[in-house]
Amino acid sequence: MRYGPILGAGALFSLACSWAALVMAPQLQLGALAPAPIPNSSDVHPALRPGLAAQGAEVYRSLGCYQCHTRQVRQKRLLFGARLNAVGSNANTVSLELPGSGKTNLVNLDLLIALAKARPDLGIAKVTVPPPLLADTNVVAALGQFTANLALLQHADDKAGIVRPTSGPTVNDVAGRRPAEILVKVGPEAAERAVKLLTDSGAKAELVIYNLGPDIERGWGARRSVARDFVNDTPVLLGSLRVGPDLASLGTRAPEKFAAPWKFAGTNTAAELEHRLLIHLYNPRLLAKDSTCPSATYLFDKQKPEVRYAGEPLVVSKELPPVFPKHNARALVAYLLTQRNDVSLPEAPTPAVAAAPAGSNAPAKP
Amino acid sequence: MTTAQPSSQTACAAAPSVAEVEASCRLPVLFLAFSGAAWLCAGAVLALLASIQLYQPTFMEGCPWVTYGRLRPAAVNALAYGFALQTSFALALWLIARLGRVELAAPLGLTIAAKFWNIAVTVGVFGILAGDATGFDLLEFPLYAALPIFASYACLAAWALVTLHQRTERELYVSLWFVVAALLWFPWILSTAQGLLLGWQVPGVVQAIVAGWFGNNLLQIVLTSFALAVLFYFVPKTVNRPLANPGLARAGFWLLLLLGGWGGLAQLAAVPAWIPAVSGAANVLVIVPVLALLVSLWQTADGKIAEAWKDNATFRFLLVAAILLLGVTLRTAVFGGHWTQFTFFATARTDIVLLGVFGLAALGALHHIVPRLTTGDDELPSSGLADVAFWAALLGVLFVGIGFSLAGFAQAGVNADAGKAFLKDGVVGIAGQLKLVTVGYGALALAALAFLANFGLAVRRCCAACCGGAR
């Protein structure tokens, strides 16, 4: 090769390819991402951080906490389920107790068929009607419909090669428990179909989601972190190494899910968590003997400072004199407390509020 | 830089002699080489101090300037900008001058630009320690250091390219392909990253993507290219044979440029799934060019490796660097996915490329270049110190690489299984492996010191010769 310019042009072309794919394309895809409204409230997620927490973000960056802590919860898969909440009623609902007995035993016959369709692994027990009820024309009509549906179901079962067990739990048992988990950890299509079958039969059913994976099991977050969680951050400190636990949802972490588990003593849990985090900053080894989290004693004053609004002294432990958290310590804790990912997003739902599954819900594949 | 001496080269009437070429290189290349090695020593010491805090958290406790979160990025950036990039400028200038058979344009200007580079790196490292780090891996220097870095680079690269343009040997040898590619690559990625992160501030996770893209390009293209430039120059020279398979080298070169820039984002979880997937695929595909390039080198040296290992200090460094290049590529391709995400295994790639692949190749090359430019010999004055430098650097890189990798595997096991206790298995449980890392950084600092001592001896001998002759 003799010509430098050709060489240079080729190199720049190669670079332009990777630049277009890995810098331009993500910017086009994610650049316009905006906070999402939180259902049933006027708030959005992620919310703008209040001033103190925004200052805390700077302390977090400045002290390099991101060198040891990630803020990215991972999740293996997103699976779905169907839950039966109420039997409901319709024309084919009959009461199996005699009128005047004071008891009611409503059976939604359509629901039994729907359940049987959703759960081919369960048998169907006979519905026995006390003879006096057979005089009721409504009951007779409903039973007739039920028998016809059963025959259709039997036919469909035979066609699909489904053999229902004759012993063990039946759909009748399942319909008797509420709430009942009809399907657990299945794909979105199966769960959606089951929910539709159940609601069509007049019952109240909902779609349940299951976020799975070690991070979720550890209690580090309700769902995986997604790009939208960070639209208000600058700089975005995702972290790439977990010497310490993930902090993406530290603000909502249950006490027993900390690396050094603890318990709330009273009812003012917010104040307790804040106190706990201040002590952690002052010296993590007071809370977990083996912790390698660096202590930030320089964020605390030994003597009561002269400034007004110095704040309450922090009682570190019984043996040690109290210390006075500086402004930066309070800011950092305020920032840590804003870390949360329990808000359901269309692209990353949380179990509490299940959105309808859509194609975009597939979690990041490993 | 004109001398009264007639040119001893007959190939081209205008071509300067080797002595003239080397004379023009002397000041800037020696300055860059010396400062680079000094930064290697400083960076290794900073990394050593940081690594102790990982298992001994009370070490240097109570001062924000030396807390792990600042010490570690200070160390990595000192090693990347102070040592690796600076040394690669020394190598680039020397390779352009030697292979292009041309005197360096503006040696004094280059030296001044190099001086500014050093000032900027120093300011940046202190900026990080003072708490001004930007928060992006390998781009932690605050703006007030990042801009001077870019400006001094622009001067260095511009003069390097002017020199290349004036070359009397028109044919561009493989080494120069890599040098040119890396010299053009670096300003683009640096300006893109600094512009988007510190200037325009793209929103949200795009920042992390840009930073990951920059870091990967710096390691996989820029520094690996400089290492390969050195390998392709010295291996044929040492075994005294022409390059065995130039076609293969050419294919490897272009494929490396095309594929190498796509990796590095497998470390991100909170981004659309296609991004880590593309990066993971690129990490695997890049094996092809790396293999092509190494096979071409291997065919050149085949049969003479043992002999060259014994006789030539430079060659030993280069052989290990080549093996490490293969090793780090395979390591990332095989284990670089989801499983080792967020562990020391993944983050240690930076150390292995900076100190192992590039670091060993560069130290090896300097063991030839520094004596050429001082005493005029092919080897540094003390072969004992050269041995110390080699073995300490080799063990240092191995200890750091193996220590971090084993710690990473243990962390990966904890990450994958919520039943394991985070604190006991994932934090306390990796202290032993991390102690190995501390020893490794110590050995690397020792290697840098041994080289610097040898450097000093060579300079003293050179001065004694000149001044002694004058007296």
Asked which of A170-184, B153-167, B200-214, B318-332 is least confident by mean pLDDT, the reply is A170-184
Identify whether A46 is part of a domain.
Answer: yes
pLDDT in tens, B417-451: 999 999 999 999 999 999 999 999 999 999 999 99
* Residue among A90, A91, A124, A94 nearest A106 (CA): A94
Contact B242, B174 (CB under 8 A): no
- Comparing CB atoms, the residue among B180, B204, B265 nearest residue A7 is B180
Cα separation, B301 vs B238, whole angstroms: 9
Last residue within a domain, chosen from A212, A242, A269: A212
Identify whether A364 is part of a domain.
Answer: no
Identify whether B167 is part of a domain.
Answer: no
Question: Considering only CB atoms, which chain B residues are within 8 Å of A260?
Answer: 423
Q: How confident is the model at residue B10 (pLDDT cuts 50, 70, 90)?
A: very low
From A194's Cα to the closest Cα of chain B, the distance in A is 29
Whether pLDDT at B274 is above 60: yes
Question: Do the Cβ atoms of A64 and B347 come within 8 Å?
Answer: no
Task: For residue A213, give both structure tokens.
Answer: 């994976």
Identify whether B250 is part of a domain.
Answer: no
Question: Considering only CB atoms, which chain A residues are within 8 Å of B423?
Answer: 259-260, 288, 290-291
- Comparing CB atoms, the residue among A31, A237, A244 nearest residue B202 is A31
- Comparing CB atoms, the residue among B131, B164, B422 nearest residue A259 is B422
Q: What is the largest CA-CA distance in chain A?
A: 104
Identify whether A218 is part of a domain.
Answer: no
Q: Which of A71, A72, A76 to mutate to test the interface with B (most CBs of B within 10 A)?
A: A72
User: Strands A324-325, A300-301: parallel, antiparallel or unpaired by DSSP?
Assistant: antiparallel
Cis bond before residue A235 (omega within 30° of 0) = yes
Query: What ipTM did this prediction achieve?
Result: 0.92
Identify whether B442 is part of a domain.
Answer: yes
Question: What DSSP state is assigned to residue A119?
Answer: -
Whether pLDDT at B469 is above 60: no
Phi then psi for residue B177, to 5 deg, are -60, -50
Question: Do the Cβ atoms of A74 and B428 come within 8 Å?
Answer: no
Identify whether A263 is part of a domain.
Answer: yes
Give the number of A-B residue pairs with CB atoms closer than 8 Å: 239
pLDDT for res A308: 64
Q: Are residues A116 and A192 in the same domain?
A: yes
Contact B180, B224 (CB under 8 A): no
CA angle in degrees (0–180, nearest 5) for B300-B359-B209: 105
3-state secondary structure of B401: helix
Cα separation, A287 vs A344, whole angstroms: 32
| Nearest residue in chain A measured CA to CA from B418 | A214
Task: For residue A280, give both structure tokens.
Answer: 């952690």
From B274's Cα to the closest Cα of chain A, the distance in A is 8
Question: Do the Cβ atoms of B204 and A240 come within 8 Å?
Answer: no
- Comparing CB atoms, the residue among B57, B181, B254 nearest residue A293 is B57
pLDDT for res A309: 60
- Comparing CB atoms, the residue among A62, A228, A244 nearest residue B131 is A62
Q: How far is CA A295 from CA B32, B60, B347, in A?
A: 39, 10, 24
The b/e string for B62-98 (b: 16+ C-beta within 10 A; e otherwise) is: eebebbbbbbbbbbbbbbbbbbbbbbbbbbbbbbbbb
Cα separation, B359 vs B392, whole angstroms: 12
Identify whether A363 is part of a domain.
Answer: no
Q: Are residues A161 and A234 in the same domain?
A: no
Question: Considering only CB atoms, which chain B residues are within 8 Å of A74?
Answer: 269, 338, 341
From B34's Cα to the closest Cα of chain A, the distance in A is 29
- Comparing CB atoms, the residue among B69, B184, B262 nearest residue A22 is B262
Question: Do the Cβ atoms of A26 and B206 come within 8 Å?
Answer: yes
Q: Which of A24, A62, A237 to mutate to test the interface with B (most CBs of B within 10 A)?
A: A62
Q: Is B462 exposed, middle or buried (0-12, 13-18, 19+ CB in 10 A)?
A: buried
Bridge partners of A82, per DSSP, are A183, A207
Identify whether B415 is part of a domain.
Answer: yes
Question: Do the Cβ atoms of A235 and B257 come within 8 Å?
Answer: no
| Higher-pLDDT residue of B279, B336 | B279
Identify whether B71 is part of a domain.
Answer: no
* pTM for this model (two decimals): 0.90
Question: Considering only CB atoms, which chain B residues are within 8 Å of A366?
Answer: 337-339
Bridge partners of A95, per DSSP, are A106
Q: What is the mean pLDDT of chain B?
A: 92
Question: Do the Cβ atoms of B205 and A10 come within 8 Å?
Answer: no
pLDDT for res B11: 47
pLDDT in tens, B255-269: 999 999 999 898 899
Identify whether A116 is part of a domain.
Answer: yes
From A164's Cα to the closest Cα of chain B, the distance in A is 37
Q: Are residues A58 and A165 in the same domain?
A: no
Q: Which of B49, B68, B197, B283 to mutate to test the interface with A (most CBs of A within 10 A)?
A: B68
pLDDT in tens, B293-316: 999 999 999 988 999 999 899 999
Q: Are residues A191 and A254 in the same domain?
A: no
Question: Do the Cβ atoms of B72 and A64 come within 8 Å?
Answer: yes
Count: domains in chain A = 2
Q: Are residues A169 and A150 in the same domain?
A: yes
Question: What DSSP state is assigned to residue B425?
Answer: I
Mean pLDDT, range B180-184, rounded to an integer: 95
Residues 6+ apart with CB under 8 A from A309: none
Instruction: For the beta carbon of residue B393, count every other beta carbon within 10 angstroms.
Output: 29
CATH code of residue A336? 1.10.760.10
Q: Are residues A332 and A276 in the same domain?
A: yes
| Higher-pLDDT residue of A151, B45 | B45
Question: Considering only CB atoms, which chain B residues are within 8 Å of A55?
Answer: none
Identify whether A3 is part of a domain.
Answer: no
Q: Are residues A134 and A241 in the same domain?
A: no
Task: For residue A262, give both structure tokens.
Answer: 């603890």
Residues 6+ apart with CB under 8 A from B57: A284, A285, A291, A292, A293, A294, A295
* Residue among A237, A185, A163, A167 nearest B133 (CA): A237
CA angle in degrees (0–180, nearest 5) for B334-B335-B337: 105
pLDDT for res B56: 94
Q: How confident is the model at residue B122 (pLDDT cuts 50, 70, 90)?
A: very high
- Comparing CB atoms, the residue among B73, B206, B265 nearest residue A67 is B73
Q: Are residues A205 and A94 in the same domain?
A: yes
Identify whether B383 is part of a domain.
Answer: yes
* Residue among A350, A247, A281 nearest A38 (CA): A350
Alpha-helical runs (H) found in chain A: 4-19, 25-30, 51-62, 109-118, 137-160, 171-176, 188-200, 214-217, 269-282, 327-337
Count: domains in chain B = 1
Q: Is B57 exposed, middle or buried (0-12, 13-18, 19+ CB in 10 A)?
A: buried
| Higher-pLDDT residue of A124, B153 | B153
Cα separation, B149 vs A190, whole angstroms: 58
Which range of residues forms the domain containing residue A285?
Answer: 41-75+223-354
Asked which of A73-87, B26-40, B339-353 is least confident by mean pLDDT, the reply is A73-87
Last residue within a domain, chosen from A164, A190, A212: A212
Question: Do the Cβ atoms of A15 and B204 come within 8 Å?
Answer: no
User: Strands A93-95, A324-325: parallel, antiparallel or unpaired by DSSP?
Assistant: unpaired
Contact B81, B138 (CB under 8 A): no
Q: How far is CA A265 from CA A181, A271, A321, B308, in A?
A: 34, 11, 22, 71
Q: What is the largest CA-CA distance in chain B?
A: 78
Contact B32, B82 (CB under 8 A): no
Location of structure tokens 């968590």: A273
pLDDT in tens, B206-215: 999 999 999 9
Q: Are residues A53 and A116 in the same domain?
A: no
Contact A195, A357 (CB under 8 A): no
Cα separation, A64 vs B73, whole angstroms: 8
From A56's Cα to the closest Cα of chain B, the distance in A is 13
Share of chain B above pLDDT 90, in %: 83
Q: Are residues A56 and A127 in the same domain?
A: no
Last residue within a domain, chosen from A183, A212, A241: A212
Cα separation, B329 vs B332, whole angstroms: 5
Over chain A (366 residues), the average pLDDT of each successive run of 10 is: 83 93 92 87 88 95 96 90 84 75 78 88 83 82 88 90 85 81 90 91 88 92 92 92 95 93 92 94 93 94 74 79 91 94 86 47 39
3-state secondary structure of B291: helix
The b/e string for B117-126 (b: 16+ C-beta within 10 A; e otherwise) is: bbebbebbbe
CA angle in degrees (0–180, nearest 5) for B362-B364-B370: 90
Question: Do the Cβ atoms of A234 and B67 come within 8 Å?
Answer: no
pLDDT for res A179: 81
Question: Considering only CB atoms, which chain A residues are within 8 Å of B136?
Answer: 235
- Comparing CB atoms, the residue among A2, A294, A365 nearest residue B57 is A294
Q: At what angle do helices A4-19 and B246-260 cross, to 10 degrees?
A: 30
Identify whether B105 is part of a domain.
Answer: no
User: Strands A93-95, A78-86: parallel, antiparallel or unpaired by DSSP?
Assistant: unpaired
* Residue among B232, B257, B267 nearest B339 (CA): B267
Which range of residues forms the domain containing residue B451?
Answer: 305-463
* Residue among B280, B293, B311, B313 nearest B389 (CA): B313
Identify whether A100 is part of a domain.
Answer: yes
Identify whether B388 is part of a domain.
Answer: yes
Q: Are residues A268 and A341 in the same domain?
A: yes
Bridge partners of A94, per DSSP, are A107
pLDDT for res B9: 41
Phi then psi for residue B158, to 5 deg, are -60, -45
| Nearest residue in chain A measured CA to CA from B51 | A292
pLDDT in tens, B374-418: 988 888 999 999 999 999 999 999 999 999 999 999 999 999 999
Q: How far is CA B282 from CA A236, B9, B249, in A?
A: 25, 45, 20
Question: Do the Cβ atoms of A15 and B132 come within 8 Å?
Answer: no
